[in-house]
């Protein structure tokens, strides 16, 4: 209180003398709060609550280390901003109220007389050939990052005027960016002027608000100790490539809406939506960063990318309805980058209590389903990663650990998937206490021709494509020393009648020799231990559903019953599922869970906590100390299946069951969903038990082959960051109500409100300076009495 009295007393003589009170709000400790309003502000103001600045850019220029920038409710239509100082940027009126918006409202339309409307050729030019795929033409319209919105509704881009119709737009570019080498985006670009294109609409803009994206990147956080809280980011169009230099903005053209560098930076409680092509949020060369409480939704490609970043925590975020541009995931070889969350070349990253929800999409567990993208994808040299307590709904591939090392995958729930957990060329992967329901394949582990950091070898064994990070860190790129304990695999989706054995195994370990035919790795080398897992299968169907496929140099085991696997002399690894449970029945009568949906697509109705008399209760093998500490549970006699999870936030096992209700599916099926069936990571065995024929290794096209200080214990049982109340996609996590959507943008949803800083007496004194002399003096007398 003494500080408040002093502030008021100091302000009084200044006002009586007719002098200005300092504009920005002084905070304890000598820091300042700078106020910004895109509605009522002016950049000639000094940044007080009563005279705010108009743009975040001006506030960043005015701020010093330790200052806070408060953004009032509104759209901040600016971009290519760089944060170099240790500042806190908050949405003053609560999370999601302030939005960085990369689109401008455009009003200079001219009717063309043919049912179309055009702008002048003065709009920003985006690169339409700056793709990670070497041949942009393969992507079609997906290679074009431009975006148009009419009354908040996204319009569809077409590539010729002849295709225009209501709801579509065309970009007339007389001088586009071109490739230096035809069909090779990695060979460089012929730059073009920053502006010079016209937009053509197929809908009449009269009486409507039309927004056209005019910025590539929103923010670059390059300083240390930066906190961004509650600031949404939407409608920017970064390209996928990071090396196209625009004449005006340089390489800020790509490859993300927001870039985080530096140390100890945090981005939380925001929604990232409508990134036109590149990743929504990317961490590169970041240390000890935290990304929490955010939603990544309705982006053209991926949501979050991580590269060469260490000690990072990704927690309590949600993903849904991404890859709206239908980026190709087939035949893109080393250039596949599309996933909800893609991480490479990083150490000690924790992914916990996140939700990936695609309940509105077509059923990804069905044979022949080709849509969607991987949810959480570790690739090329991820070391000591932790994937724990995450919740996945109807994902193409829930978790991928590819050519990485020492990944812990624990207590996740996969509720519907093509492949639930994929392990490819990764050593020392620990898979403990996960629950998987309604997947096409629960565990898909395989070895391929890559080894020792080499993506491709010549016939003589020489490496043609080296991956330097993995080579420097000594990664083997071989699937070895996998452990698989205390997991539940339940009610798998069966193969189609045309190929009944293709997806028959619940769990499979498929070996392979390297490209130079050296160092072959088979199942007994791939797995260090497998036991105490639960296999729950419906045996009433004529379509085969086996337990474990185990490949060897001469014969394979495709165990119809778990006892066949345990008894096989071809299996020599530790455990051999001697304590595994092989249970049979329908989903409706499943004794393991409170409730498992009988209809595969009724994901939200499943409650995958263990029932009171579940045979999985207390029957697991003891947890390694590190896993128990990670999950915050006792290591002795644990349950099988998930122990803590994002789906149960606030209602973890041991408490009363939640009311469950299925939510309607809302996402539209993509054209790819009707495409021919894809080939999974291995051609399945054609007969049960032991076989002489070897399955060949063929990865999902484009996903298996990619080119190019540890945090303290993470108590996952008591996460430090509350789960966001943001929308989790069409289904919501069980027990949560779908959040209300914004009238303008369906990605908007309520999130925890940012705490508003205390308004000091200096704010009131500044306000008093705008009153009449007598009114101002009376107010100050009141303040003196109040605070003395």
Q: Tell me the per-residue pLDDT of 664-702, one tens digit each, with 9 for 90 and over.
A: 333 333 333 333 233 333 333 434 445 544 443 333 433
Report strand pairing: 341-344 vs 374-379.
parallel
pLDDT in the model for residue 152: 96
Helix axis angle, 761-768 relative to 773-787, nearest 10°? 160
Which helix or strand (DSSP H or E) is residue 62 part of?
helix 56-62
Q: Is the pLDDT of residue 339 over 80?
A: yes
DSSP secondary structure of 345-413: S-BS-EEES-EEE-TTS--TTSTT-----EEEEEESS-BS-EEES-EEEEEEEEEEEES-BS-EEES-E
Rg (CA), the chain: 28
| Residue 723 in tokens | 């789960």
Phi-psi region of 298 (alpha: psi -120 to 50; beta: other; left: phi over 0): left
Can you give the pLDDT at residue 711?
A: 30
Asked if 24 and 32 touch (Cβ cutoff 8 Å), the reply is yes
Find out whether 401 and 381 touch, Cβ atoms under 8 Å: no
| 703-762 pLDDT tens trace | 433 333 333 333 444 444 333 333 334 454 443 333 333 334 433 333 333 333 333 333
Mean pLDDT of 27-32: 68
Tokens 């002795």 locate to 636
Read off φ and ψ for residue 123, nearest 5 degrees. -90, 160
Share of the chain residues as helix, strand and coil, in percent rounded to the nearest 5: 15, 30, 55
Q: Name the DSSP letter for residue 42.
A: -
Per-residue buried b or exposed e for 473-486, using 16+ beta carbons within 10 Å of the residue's own CB: eebbbbbbbbbbbb
CA distances from 733 to 323, 413, 603, 661 (A): 21, 11, 9, 10
Cα 90 from Cα 92, distance rounded (Å):
6
Whether residue 765 has pLDDT greater than 60: no
User: Is there a contact between 241 and 129 (Cβ–Cβ < 8 Å)?
Assistant: no
| Residues in the chain, overall count | 788
Token pair listed for 237: 């169009």
* 565 and 524 Cβ atoms separated by less than 8 Å: no
Q: What pLDDT band is residue 291 in, cutting at 50, 70 and 90?
A: very high
Considering only 58-72, 174-188, 621-635, 671-685, which range has the smallest mean pLDDT?
A: 671-685
In contact, 726 and 750? CB cutoff 8 Å: yes
pLDDT at 112 over 50: yes
Mean pLDDT of 331-347: 80
Question: Worst-scoring range by mean pLDDT, 197-206, 618-627, 719-728, 753-762?
Answer: 753-762
Report residue 306 as tokens. Answer: 């991580």
Residue-level pLDDT at 229? 96
CA distance 698 to 704: 9
**DSSP codes joined into one string, 134-193:** S-GGGGGGGG----EEETTEEPEE-SSGGG--TTEEEEE-SS--EEEETTEEEEEEE---
Query: Among 16, 245, 21, which Cα is nearest to 766's?
Result: 21
Q: How far apart are CA 694 and CA 408, in angstroms?
A: 30
Coil, helix or strand at residue 526: helix
Give the list of residues 6+ apart from residue 117 with CB closer than 8 angstroms, or none.
109, 110, 111, 200, 201, 203, 204, 205
């Amino acid at each position: 209180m003494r500080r408040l009295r002093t502030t008021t007393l100091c302000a009084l003589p200044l006002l009586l003398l007719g002098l200005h009170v300092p504009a920005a709000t002084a905070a304890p400790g000598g820091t300042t709060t700078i106020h910004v309003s895109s509605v009522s502000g002016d950049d000639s103001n000094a940044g007080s609550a009563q005279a705010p600045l108009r743009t975040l850019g001006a506030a960043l220029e005015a701020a010093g280390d330790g200052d806070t920038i408060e953004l009032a409710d509104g759209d901040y239509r600016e971009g290519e901003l760089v944060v170099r100082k240790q500042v806190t940027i908050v949405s003053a009126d609560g999370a999601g109220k302030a939005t960085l918006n990369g689109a401008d409202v455009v009003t200079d339309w001219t009717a063309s007389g043919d049912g179309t409307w055009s702008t002048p050729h003065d709009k920003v030019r985006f690169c339409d050939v700056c793709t990670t795929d070497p041949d942009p033409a393969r992507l079609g319209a997906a290679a074009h990052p431009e975006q148009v919105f009419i009354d908040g509704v996204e319009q569809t881009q077409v590539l010729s005027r002849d295709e225009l119709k209501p709801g579509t737009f065309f970009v007339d570019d007389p001088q586009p960016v071109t490739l230096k080498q035809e069909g090779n985006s990695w060979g460089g670009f012929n730059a073009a002027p920053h502006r010079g294109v016209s937009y053509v609409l197929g809908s009449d803009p009269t009486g409507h608000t039309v927004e056209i994206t005019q910025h590539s990147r929103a923010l670059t956080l390059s300083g240390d100790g930066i906190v961004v809280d509650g600031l949404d980011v939407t409608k920017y169009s970064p390209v996928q490539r990071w090396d196209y230099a625009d004449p005006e903005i340089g390489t800020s053209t790509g490859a993300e809406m927001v870039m985080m560098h530096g140390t100890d930076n945090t981005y939380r409680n925001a929604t990232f939506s409508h990134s036109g092509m590149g990743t929504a949020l990317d961490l590169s060369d970041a240390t000890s960063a935290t990304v929490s409480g955010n939603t990544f939704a309705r982006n053209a490609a991926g949501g979050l990318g991580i590269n060469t970043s260490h000690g990072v925590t990704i927690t309590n975020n949600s993903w849904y309805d991404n890859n709206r541009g239908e980026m190709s995931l087939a035949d893109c070889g080393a250039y596949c980058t599309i996933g909800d969350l893609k991480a490479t070349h990083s150490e000690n990253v924790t992914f916990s209590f996140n939700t990936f929800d695609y309940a509105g999409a077509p059923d990804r567990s069905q044979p022949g389903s080709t849509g969607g993208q991987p949810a959480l994808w570790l690739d090329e040299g991820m070391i000591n990663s932790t994937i724990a307590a995450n919740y996945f709904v109807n994902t193409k591939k829930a978790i991928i650990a590819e050519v990485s090392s020492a990944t812990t995958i624990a207590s996740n729930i996969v509720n519907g998937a093509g492949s639930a957990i994929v392990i490819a060329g990764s050593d020392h992967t620990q898979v403990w206490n996960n629950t998987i329901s309604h997947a096409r394949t629960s565990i898909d582990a395989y070895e391929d021709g890559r080894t020792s950091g080499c993506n491709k070898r010549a016939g003589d064994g020489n490496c043609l494509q080296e991956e330097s990070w993995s080579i420097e860190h000594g990664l083997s790129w071989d699937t070895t020393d996998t452990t698989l304990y205390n997991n539940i695999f339940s009610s798998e989706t069966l193969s189609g009648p045309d190929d009944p054995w293709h997806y028959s195994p619940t769990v499979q370990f498929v070996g392979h020799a390297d490209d130079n035919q050296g160092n072959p790795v088979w199942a007994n080398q791939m797995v260090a231990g497998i036991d105490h897992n639960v296999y729950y299968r419906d045996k009433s169907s004529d379509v085969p559903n086996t337990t474990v496929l185990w490949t060897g140099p001469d014969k394979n085991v495709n165990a119809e019953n778990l006892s066949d696997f345990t008894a096989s002399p071809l299996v020599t690894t530790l455990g051999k599922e001697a304590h595994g449970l092989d249970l049979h029945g329908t989903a409706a009568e499943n004794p393991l869970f409170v409730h498992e949906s009988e209809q595969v697509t009724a994901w939200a109705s499943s409650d995958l906590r263990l029932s009171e008399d579940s045979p999985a209760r207390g029957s697991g093998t003891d947890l390694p100390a590190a896993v128990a500490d990670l999950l915050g549970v006792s290591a002795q006699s644990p349950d099988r299946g998930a122990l803590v999870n994002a789906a149960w936030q606030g209602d973890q096992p041991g408490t009363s069951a939640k009311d469950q209700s299925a939510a309607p599916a809302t996402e539209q099926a993509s054209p790819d969903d009707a495409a021919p069936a894809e080939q999974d990571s291995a051609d399945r065995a054609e007969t049960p038990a032991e076989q002489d024929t070897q399955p060949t290794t063929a990865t999902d096209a484009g996903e298996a082959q990619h080119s190019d200080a540890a945090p303290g214990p993470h108590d996952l049982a008591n996460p430090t960051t509350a789960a966001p109340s943001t929308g989790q996609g069409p289904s919501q996590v069980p027990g949560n109500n779908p959040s209300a959507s914004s009238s303008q943008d369906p990605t908007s949803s309520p999130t925890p409100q940012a705490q508003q800083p205390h308004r000091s007496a200096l704010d009131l004194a500044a306000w008093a300076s705008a009153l009449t002399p007598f009114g101002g003096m009376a107010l100050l007398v009141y303040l003196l009495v109040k605070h003395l």
